Amino acid sequence: METPDTGAAEVRWALEDLYDSPDALHEALDNAASDAEAFAERYRGRIGDLGPEALAAALEALESIYDRLGRARAYAYLRWSADTNDPERGALRQSVQETGDRIRQQLVFVDTEWVAVPDDRAATLLDHDALAEYRHYLETEHLRQDHVLSEAEEKVLSEKSITGQQAWTRFFDETMGAARFDLEGETLTQQEILSKLYEPDRDLRREAALAFTDGLKEHRRPLTFIFNTLLAEKASTDRLRDYDHWLQQRNQSNEVDDETVATLIEAVTDRYDLVARFYRLKKRLLGVDTLYDYDRYAPIREADTTYDWEEARALVLDAYGDFHPDMAEVARRFFDHDWIDAALAPGKRSGAFSHGTVPSAHPYVLLNYTGKARDVQTLAHELGHGVHQFLAREQSLFHHGTPLTTAEMASVFGEMLVFQRLRRREEDPTNRLALLVAKIDDTLATVFRQVAMNRFEARIHADRRENGELQADRFAEHWMETQRDMFAGSVVLGDHYRHWWSYIPHFLHTPGYVYAYAFGELLVLALHARYEERDSGFADQYLDLLRAGGSDWPHALVGEMGVDLHDEDFWARGLSHIEDLIAEAEALADKATAERLARGDGAPHASSTS
């Protein structure tokens, strides 16, 4: 049961584009510290009095300091992510965080003084052409005025975050990075064992699920403590900043109003029937009497197709190139210039991400590539992020990043391009059905599972604030209840599944993150529908949207593409596209069954139904 040789073992990123060595990093930080001190001496107490040209000059100088801090932090984080068990890398990451925090503390006054500017004066400044490059950043910062504390208080919160939230998330990452799971005589990483849930062998899937649970149970006590600590930390920060509810800060950061998010969540939970409908179909396709949690991602065909690294590269680049040659050209740079780390390695951070770094550099992508079809989609997903981050380098540092809601747009769109290309070239009806079912698997995970996890998050934040520290069994109760709501009886969740809340990093790193996946998926379904309606000019418009980064409100940016996020029926239309995919899969399944019966073949059989 060895992991296949995919050719990704030597695919490691080169971080020299950021710094030649840690020594060069420290020198850059020393220079940034000196510039920050000089900046503070020049501008402290004056931000509210600056005219538009002078404020633009101040922000340009501030941007230069922040760019260097971001570059240093990116280098230390990426180097650590490749081997979280290396104490030297961990120490460098911590050192950079501490040094960067001390430098930022000298600059906190910019935010506290800007939010104190009277609304009418702020509006006058924002209308001036000299501040065009910084307008949206200044606008959104000023809207935070009710939640920004005094300079002294902000410094304290910044200082304590190093030994608070940042320390606990690092401990979580290193704990899960070092965790090993024993399966049939092999010792596997988290990424390796979770990949077994996509295998055709049902016995293997079940044993992998149980082995993963055993490993989580070994870490149950520290994981429970980490969750409790960070829930309490979030509650404390929300109280200090006077947020009305646990999700308000995340919604403001995502630049969407509470009502839009509530409408999204209600629309998705109201269509949990689609989840049950699909899994009833999948149970029939797998030929099993009961569909268990470890059957959810099972392929419906016996073939154990794998893709070596070069095949995956070609699939993604061809799909991107079909859409727009510039998109493929940007993505190709990641392969040609060693901006990707795809190898499976001890201590490497699990999962996948694209780190946008800073506008003066370029993004980096991390994967744990095992050669599965889902890994190809993950590559397409992260390169979607990467292309977005690369093109947005045209913006200032303050507009380079995007809210999570539109950040997921580009990644999901990248996946969609690969899926549609594979679909177009597949002529065999059985293969088309297998491909479609796999796509629906991912879509349900992106939309419905993420919203179910949002419901779990809402419950644990409320419970922790109302009743104090939660026991592991209490977390499990919330997890199982919110998961069962989603499946509506279509999937049987084994008792082992009670522990699976504890390995998900988004709950800790970025509370409230997960609904952004559903937001992004449904947005992409709308965008792709517009693409199919009017192919001409769409691709150029889409790349312009990516180049815009976070320079305007999400609803304004996507509005240029003909999508209205404020339309009350927007989410329902996106969900109807998912319903159409399920109906298509049902029709293909019925056709396959009719053809099989006409040939005199029996019913489908799972690879193992024991």
pLDDT tens digit string along 265-299? Answer: 999 999 999 999 999 999 999 999 999 999 999 99
pLDDT of residue 608: 42
- The answer to whether position 542 is within a domain reads no
The DSSP call for residue 592 is H
Sorted by sequence, the CB contacts under 8 Å of residue 13 that are 6+ apart come out as 78, 82, 338, 339, 340, 341, 364, 365, 366
Dihedral, CA of residue 345, residue 173, residue 379 and residue 570, to nearest 10: 170
Distance CA 360, CA 19 (A): 12
Distance CA 124, CA 51 (A): 10
- Its pTM stands at 0.86
Average pLDDT value for residue range 556-577: 89
The amino acid occupying position 569 is D
- The answer to whether position 29 is within a domain reads yes
Distance CA 76, CA 91 (A): 9
Dihedral, CA of residue 184, residue 189, residue 192 and residue 196, to nearest 10: 50
pLDDT tens digit string along 33-84? Answer: 999 999 999 999 999 999 999 999 999 999 999 999 999 999 999 999 999 9
pLDDT of residue 79: 96
Distance CA 516, CA 398 (A): 21
Average pLDDT value for residue range 296-306: 75
pLDDT of residue 404: 86
In 3D space, the residue among 453, 501, 477, 610 whose CA is nearest the CA of residue 213 turns out to be 501
Q: What is the CATH number of the domain that holds 70?
A: 1.20.140.70
Q: Where are the alpha helices (DSSP H) in 143-199?
A: 151-163, 165-178, 190-195
By CB atoms closer than 10 A (0-12, 13-18, 19+), residue 378 is buried
pLDDT of residue 603: 55
pLDDT of residue 601: 67
Beta pairing partners, 492: 292
Q: Which residue has the higher pLDDT, 390 or 567?
A: 390
pLDDT tens digit string along 136-191? Answer: 999 999 999 999 999 899 989 988 888 889 999 999 999 998 999 999 999 999 98
For residue 24 the two structure tokens come to 């060069």
DSSP structure string for 405-449: HHHHHHHHHHHHHHHHHHHHH---HHHHHHHHHHHHHHHHIIIII
pLDDT tens digit string along 429-479? Answer: 888 898 899 899 999 999 999 999 999 999 999 999 999 999 999 999 999
Cβ atoms of residues 524 and 447 within 8 Å: no
The percent of the chain in helix, strand and coil, each rounded to the nearest 5, is 70, 5, 25
- The answer to whether position 532 is within a domain reads no
- In 123-281, the DSSP E strands lie at 181-183, 186-188
**Residue in this structure with the two tokens 């998900």, named with its chain if needed:** 504
- Domain range enclosing 125: 15-163
pLDDT of residue 432: 85
Q: How confident is the model at residue 1 (pLDDT cuts 50, 70, 90)?
A: very low
- The answer to whether position 116 is within a domain reads yes
Distance CA 560, CA 584 (A): 31
CA distances (Å), origin 513, targets 71, 226, 518, 547: 24, 18, 10, 23
For residue 259 the two structure tokens come to 């009502």
pLDDT tens digit string along 343-374? Answer: 999 889 888 999 999 999 999 999 999 888 78
**Residue 303 clears pLDDT 60, i.e. is over it:** no
CA 218 to chain centroid, in Å, comes to: 27
Q: Which residue has the higher pLDDT, 607 or 328?
A: 328
pLDDT of residue 487: 97
Q: How confident is the model at residue 7 (pLDDT cuts 50, 70, 90)?
A: very high
- The answer to whether position 192 is within a domain reads no
**Residue in this structure with the two tokens 């001390």, named with its chain if needed:** 102
Q: How confident is the model at residue 3 (pLDDT cuts 50, 70, 90)?
A: low
Beta pairing partners, 365: 340, 354
For residue 263 the two structure tokens come to 């409408």
pLDDT of residue 610: 32
Structural domains counted in the chain: 1
The amino acid occupying position 53 is E
- The answer to whether position 574 is within a domain reads no
pLDDT tens digit string along 495-526? Answer: 999 999 999 999 999 999 999 999 999 998 88
**Residue 594 clears pLDDT 90, i.e. is over it:** no
What is the average pLDDT score of the chain? 92
Cβ atoms of residues 317 and 518 within 8 Å: no
Phi, psi of 229 (to 5 degrees): -65, -45
Q: Which residue has the higher pLDDT, 555 or 422?
A: 555
- Helix/strand/coil for 181: strand
Residue 363 CB neighbour total at 10 angstroms: 26
- The answer to whether position 280 is within a domain reads no
For residue 282 the two structure tokens come to 């999948």
The amino acid occupying position 318 is D
CA distances (Å), origin 133, targets 102, 136, 551: 27, 8, 8
- The answer to whether position 76 is within a domain reads yes
**Residue 2 clears pLDDT 50, i.e. is over it:** yes
Sorted by sequence, the CB contacts under 8 Å of residue 10 that are 6+ apart come out as 343
